[in-house]
Amino acid sequence: MNSFLVIPVLAQARFRPEFIWDNRDIFLGGVRLTLFIAIIAFSLATAMGLAVALLRMSKSRIVGPIMGAYINVFRAIPLLVFVLFVYYGIAIQFDLAISAIQAGILALTLQYSAWLGEIFRSGIQAVSDGQRQAALSVGMSRPQAFFRVVLPQATRIVIPPMGNMFIGMIKDSSLVYIIGVPELLRVSNLLANTTFRYFEVYLATVISYLILTTAVYFGVKYLEKRYALVDVLTSRVRSPFARRRSAQLLKLQEAVTTSRGSESTSGRDSA
């Protein structure tokens, strides 16, 4: 029998859990880079997604359709193809000095900004227009009404889908291994190919991704409960933050009611 075939088989003949512990530094290095890429790309994508959502909702006949096309284009391109296009296509064609990590972050940011743009747009539109009108009636400018009243409520609405997107970002960051980024999957492949301990290596990889995504899941659940939106008339509110927001919204509604009452009274007096 060919010795090149015998050696890998014998190497995996017995499960060695200590192998994972002995190579923990390699796995932890990959995990750290995976988290770094996911956090940076998601932060940039969130900022871009909010900008895309606002421009998409613009009343301009030019800006709105352009942002709609932006969203449709980036949501239609497979991420793996886009990573290759950014690193090997754009960088080489235009002679850009861009590292593999930077190319991976750029590709993830652009793709996820399109998805997050639609999430933010849905969240903003879900906020009642009465909240905006109430803020304007107490003297807030439109930007103040948006950033102090509408956006905080929209952000709490989109916490669950944004959490799902961040979990997706962690998993999709594994695709940048194709351009040589030494994240978790890349270092796992290299270790498996040099030691032939495929089961132990990929078991550790699976467990690592499972731990990361599970931690994010429970973190999102906590944020969802901590900053949950409640009806302004609900008295049983556990969250202090939500309780303060409820009191502020009640004041805004009272201000709107008073303003409308005074307008109707002045109208009758003038008649």
Query: What's the N-to-C CA distance of the chain in angstroms?
Result: 106
Nearest residue to 108 via CA among 198, 197, 169: 169
Q: What span, in angstroms and rounded, lies between the C-alpha atoms of 12 and 189? A: 15
Q: Read off the pLDDT band of 257 (50, 70, 90).
A: low
Give me the mean pLDDT over the 191-200 stretch: 93
pTM of the entire structure? 0.80
Model confidence over 201-220: pLDDT tens digits? 999 999 999 999 999 999 99
pLDDT at 268: 55
Average pLDDT, the chain: 86
